[in-house]
Amino acid sequence: MAGYNDMEMMIAVASRELENGSTVGVGTGAPCAAAMLAQKMNAPELVIMFEAGGMSPRLPEMPISVGDSRTFYEAAMAGSMGDTMESCARGFVDYTFLGGAQIDMYGNLNSTVIGDYAKPKVRLPGSGGANDFASFCWRMMVMTPQDKRRFVEKLDFLTTPGWLKGGSSREKSGLPAGTGPYKIITNMAVMDFEPETKRMRVFSLNPGYTFKDVQNNCGFELLQTKKPEETQAPTKEELEILREEVDPYRYVIGR
């Protein structure tokens, strides 16, 4: 179905990754929209967890922050940040969505500074709970526009660990075996990570884009599967639910 924008595409793709009965740690914005869409489409028993402590709420509408009272609405528990992070550390959280100003070929993220740390060009918000989520949740996903300023050869600062230097470096660092970056979802493609090297590779191409388009908007050399699939566009049902039930005020998806 035509007539969707890039944000709607990314949200729909991300929502399909969340299985019924799984747990996901989300922030507000697009990750929350993806989780809400998944609950209404394919994962009615998805457990949504917010950094500030809302555990499995029945979200009446899109919250505007991780501490919004709506994140506690009819929740299984009104906990705290400590409760959420403890759940991650104990291995109870299957998925998380993160973002940042920069990402490298191993899925490491920078949300601290652009430029030199002592004299940065831009001072960014920092980690928040991102480091904990990425360190302990089983599968970390990123939703971000595709461009060379974000996808960089070398981070200005490593805020959040991905596969670190690739290969077995993440596990050797002491982070739990089996955890790590899973999917990178952009307006052009969906990327995963090559199993041995842990380098980012193009798994599927969004309608209207080629591998060359993705590579031209990336600051490092991308791998690709033998024959990248075509990403399924948002369905009519997904768009209707997203626009009418998940984000009717267009806070995230735009107008």
Give the DSSP letter string of the chain. -----HHHHHHHHHHHT--TT-EEEE-SSHHHHHHHHHHHHT-TT-EEEETTSEES---SS--SSTT-GGGGTT-SEE--HHHHHHHHHTT---EEEE--SEE-TT--EE-SEEE-SSSEEEE----TTHHHHHHHSSEEEEE----TTTB-SS-SS--B-SSTTSTTHHHHTTPPTT-EEEEEE-SSEEEEE-TTT--EEEEEE-TT--HHHHHHT-SSPPEEEEEEEEPPPPPHHHHHHIIIII-TT-TTT--
Residue 153 and residue 102: Cα distance in Å, rounded?
10
Q: Output Rg (C-alpha) for the chain, integer angstroms.
A: 17
Residue 1 has pLDDT above 70, yes or no: no
pLDDT band at 164 (very low <50, low <70, confident <90, very high): very high
Residue 14 and residue 27: Cα distance in Å, rounded?
14
Check residue 2 and give its pLDDT: 60
Residue 11 and residue 36: Cα distance in Å, rounded?
10
List, by residue number, the catalytic residues.
51
Residue 44 and residue 182: Cα distance in Å, rounded?
22
Full-model pTM? 0.95
In b/e form, how buried is each residue of 30-39, taking b as 16+ CB within 10 angstroms?
bbbbbbbbbb
Query: What average pLDDT does this structure show over 163-184?
Result: 98
* Token pair listed for 169: 């470096």
CATH number among 3.40.50.620, 1.10.10.10, 3.40.718.10, 3.40.1080.10, domain 6-246: 3.40.1080.10
Query: What average pLDDT does this structure show over 128-141?
Result: 95
Residue 156 and residue 122: Cα distance in Å, rounded?
11
Residue 193 and residue 223: Cα distance in Å, rounded?
9
71-113 pLDDT, tens digit each: 999 999 999 999 999 999 999 999 999 999 999 999 999 999 9
20-72 pLDDT, tens digit each: 999 999 988 999 999 999 999 999 999 999 999 999 999 999 999 999 999 99
Residue 182 and residue 184: Cα distance in Å, rounded?
7
Cβ atoms of 150 and 102 within 8 Å: the answer is: yes
In single-letter form, the type of residue at position 222 comes to: L
Neighbour tally for 64: CB within 10 Å: 13
